[in-house]
Amino acid sequence: MFNSLAHLVVRRHKLTLFTFILIVIIAGGVGSLSFSKLESGGYSDPKSASAKAARYLTDTFHVKDPGVILIVDAGRDINDPEVISDALALEKLVKAEPGVAQTFSYWSAGAAPNLKSADGNAAFLFIYTTTTDFGAVSEIGKRIQSKYDGTFQTLRVYASGGGVVTNAINSRISKDLALAEAISIPLVFILLIFVFGALVASAMPLVVGISSILGAFFLIYLFTLFTSVSVYALNLITGLGLGLGIDYALLIVNRFREELHAGKSVEESVITTINTAGKTVFYSGLTVFVTLLSLIMFPLAFLKSFGYAGISVVTLAVAGALIPLPAILVMTGRKIDKGVIRKSAITPREDGRWASTARFVMRRPVPIVLVSLIVISIFSVPIKNIAFAQIDSRVLPATDRAAVASQLISDRFPGEEGSPIEIIIPNSGGKMDEIGQYLNKVGKIAGVIRVNNPENSGDVLRITAIQSMPSRTTEAAKMIHALRALSTPEGTLIGGPAADFTDSQDGIAHALPWALGWIALSVFILIFIFTGSIILPIKAVILNGLSLIATLGVLTWIFIDGHLKWLVGDFTQTGTIDTGSTILVAVVVFGLSMDYEIFLLSRIREEHVAGKTNTESVATGLQRSARIITAAALLLGVVFAVFVSSGVTSIKLLGFGVAFAVLLDATLIRALLVPALMRLFGERNWWAPKSLRRFTLTH
């Protein structure tokens, strides 16, 4: 397959390049239509009990959660006549806003005691929107916050609620990512010139990166025709597209240069490059593909979206590296080294500092392994404190207006009035004694501060209960689990924001073992096919697992224990880290680590098949590939490290997590542990049962 592709690209390089460019341009144009179809929600499990309860609330009781919550602080008794007059005037103005269906406040509800603060000087004004669309509610929240968050006559008004918080997070992420790109793109381009050593060669990652990004937009558009896709998928497409573009272009260009310097013609060099480095790119991309595919197993549309984005951009990155890039190399030929900046980066060396490093490591494999494992263990120790939740207003800087308002609710109001526990009991007729006993038990559950009177719609009963803690916390999840552990009337459903959070977390926890099993098994099979070894894929999965555990330990130490704020910037410690961001870090990091593993093993395998000993194969393989791996990791680390400048904690976590993991993997894992273990296993590295060897790839 690769040989046929190589000869086709060489023979028809102009037609190949022109056709590919035309396809990418058309794909990018059509793909841009997806931007208006992307959604900003997708954090709930649609098949959960809380989702069923939500459908009852919408269809049977016509209930919606308030999209915006205003906290009206009078600074004195809220029953003061002047306060009442000003508050009702405020409510009248808000009710007339576009997109507002109705309002409900302490004053318009007849001085409802559950809507006032503990000190009696502030009260809630709930705003219900005409739509439940996540993006539309966010826009309404943005408008209401900009108009009313501040002073209104004698009152101080604070805006909170889902619409306001969502808009605050999304707006800040958009600004932060724009700033990050403004910093990282010029910096990466400078580093590319240094790494490739010449101006012409340094432009090659753009060929792969741009084609993969534009092509992925088209595939995402196709996904939007059948399912919901998160707007945040675009961030992964651009970041991963650029990162893989760098990885694959480095590998292809470096091998092309090797062949040219070995005395081959341009055409022969391209053919050999596709048959060797091209094959590596294909299998490397395949391992990243199957790893990112695991995200589709999770029930949340938010995580599924990253799966769709990931497999799209990887597919196009591989295509970009195997089709237009070789065609450009045919046309560029020996001019690939034009515009020399650093001559040492242009001329490949059979022997050098990486080979010397490998030989040093292999002379002392046991001490190197022990020291490396000790370092990984030190990084991993804090993982014992890891705890997961989902993002809420606390991911924002403490000074953000939405965060200030949310903290005010926590400090001054006794319960979560705007996000109650919803208990739905279908077919309630004839069960009132049983229901009464059940509700009595509900009121005694830790965290439940009040159970309200039931509401009927036909034979369906709705009961709301108010909890003391924020909905998206581990404490709220424990409360929901305790409620569901009670003996309940048949068909009882527990919903509301706390139950929605709990079901999302439980859904992720249920899918996680399947996702991990899929990753481990599929990666094992692919590396076995590629190397012909049983030992190497086992070591690869174990080492990547250790690298991931170390990364999670460091993330726990920083974002849960609160260290290193001088480097990552200030953030609010919640005692948890975001589940979705952590899973995304883990999957992306595992995929990229396997990317580097294939790069290294491919070159070692090639040298071993050529007849070199295990030790010399490792030394030469490391010399030829370690520079590529380290450079790729450095460049990718820069792209993601800039995200640490974000004011949103989950983006800080994503940026630091990926940057730390790829640099750890490219140094401690690939440069030290892999060659040390290769030396310890010796020729056994390449062992496989004879019956299975026919399933392996011929190099």
Instruction: Report DSSP letters for 559-589, one per residue.
Output: HTT---HHHH------S-EEHHHHHHHHHHH
Q: Are residues 516 and 491 in the same domain?
A: no
Residues 31-44: pLDDT tens digits?
Answer: 888 777 777 667 88
Work out the pLDDT band at 518, boundaries 50, 70, 90.
very high
**pLDDT confidence of residue 14:** 87
Domain contains 99: yes
Confidence category of residue 351, pLDDT binned at 50, 70, 90 = low
In this predicted structure, what is the pLDDT of residue 148? 93
Structure tokens at 417: 């009035």
Phi, psi for 102 (deg, rounded to 5): -160, 165
Residue 699: band (very low, low, confident or very high) from pLDDT cuts 50, 70, 90: low
Q: What is the pLDDT of residue 349?
A: 62
Per-residue pLDDT, 364: 87
Q: Is there a domain that residue 549 lies in?
A: yes
Instruction: Tell which residue, 543, 541, 528, 545, has the closest CA to residue 686.
Output: 528
Residue whose entry in the numeric block shows the structure tokens 């919803």? 422
Are 676 and 203 spatial neighbours (Cβ–Cβ below 8 Å)? no
Is residue 53 one of the residues assigned to a domain? no
At which residue do the structure tokens 């002379």 appear?
A: 363
Mean per-residue pLDDT, 131-158: 90
Say what percent of the chain tops pLDDT 90: 35
Q: 555 with 415, same domain?
A: no
Which candidate, 348, 345, 349, places its Cα nearest to that of 198? 345
Q: Which of 449, 473, 502 is the last residue of a domain?
A: 502
Distance CA 321, CA 104 (A): 58
296 within domain boundaries: no
Token pair in block for residue 9 = 């690209």
Rounded to a whole number of angstroms, the distance between the first and last alpha carbons of the chain is 12
Residue 656 maps to which CATH number? 1.20.1640.10
User: CATH code at 435?
Assistant: 3.30.70
Residue 250 CA to residue 252 CA, distance in Å, equals 6
Same domain, 622 and 676: yes
- The model's pTM: 0.86
Weakest mean pLDDT among 6-15, 203-212, 619-628, 690-699: 690-699
Across the chain, what does the average pLDDT equal? 87
> Cα separation of 275 and 255, whole Å?
11
Indicate the SS3 state at residue 490. coil
- Would you say residue 643 has pLDDT above 90? no
Residue 117 lies in a domain: yes
Range scoring the smallest mean pLDDT among 221-230, 590-599, 625-634: 625-634
Lowest mean pLDDT segment, chosen from 93-97, 127-131, 132-136, 432-436:
132-136
Tell me how many domains the chain contains: 3
Tell whether 619 and 590 lie within a shared domain: yes
Are 531 and 596 found together in one domain? yes
Give the end of a domain, one of 112, 129, 160. 160
Torsion-angle region of residue 111: left (phi > 0), alpha (psi -120 to 50) or beta? left
Is 248 contained in some domain?
no
More confident residue, 690 or 256: 256
User: What is the four-CA torsion angle of 312, 630, 526, 693, rounded to 10 degrees?
Assistant: 150
252 domain-assigned = no
Residues 421 and 562 in one domain: no
User: Which residue carries 């597919």 as its tokens?
Assistant: 315
Q: Are residues 465 and 483 in the same domain?
A: yes
pLDDT tier at 65, thresholds 50, 70, 90: confident
Nearest to residue 240, comparing CAs of 271, 217, 272?
217
Please report the pLDDT score of residue 40 as a whole number: 67
The alpha-carbon radius of gyration of the chain (Å, integer) is 29
Cα–Cα distance measured from residue 75 to residue 646, given in angstroms and rounded to the nearest whole number? 35
Judgement on whether residues 434 and 364 belong to the same structural domain of the protein: no
Lookup result for tokens 């002047």? 82
Is residue 254, in this structure, part of any structural domain at all?
no
Q: What is the pLDDT of residue 697?
A: 67
Contact 308, 220 (CB under 8 A): yes
Q: Are 7 and 270 in contact (CB under 8 A)?
A: no
pLDDT surpassing 60 at residue 405: yes
* 390 and 407 belong to one structural domain: no
What's the average model confidence in pLDDT over 340-363?
70
pLDDT at 346: 60
Q: Judge whether residue 628 has pLDDT over 90.
A: no
Q: Which helix (H) or strand (E) holds 234?
A: helix 233-261
Within this chain, do residues 614 and 478 fall inside the same structural domain, yes or no?
A: no
Q: Which residues contact 498 (CB under 8 A, 6 or more apart)?
A: 416, 419, 421, 467, 471, 472, 476, 477, 479, 480
Query: 502, 534, 561 — which closes off a domain?
Result: 502
CATH number at residue 105: 3.30.70.330
Structure token digits, residue 88: 């009702």
What are the phi and psi torsion angles at 416 (to 5°)? -90, 75
490 and 575 part of one domain: no
- Domain interval for residue 600: 350-400+506-699
Are both 699 and 610 inside the same structural domain? yes
pLDDT per residue as tens digits for the range 239-267: 888 888 888 988 898 888 888 888 888 88
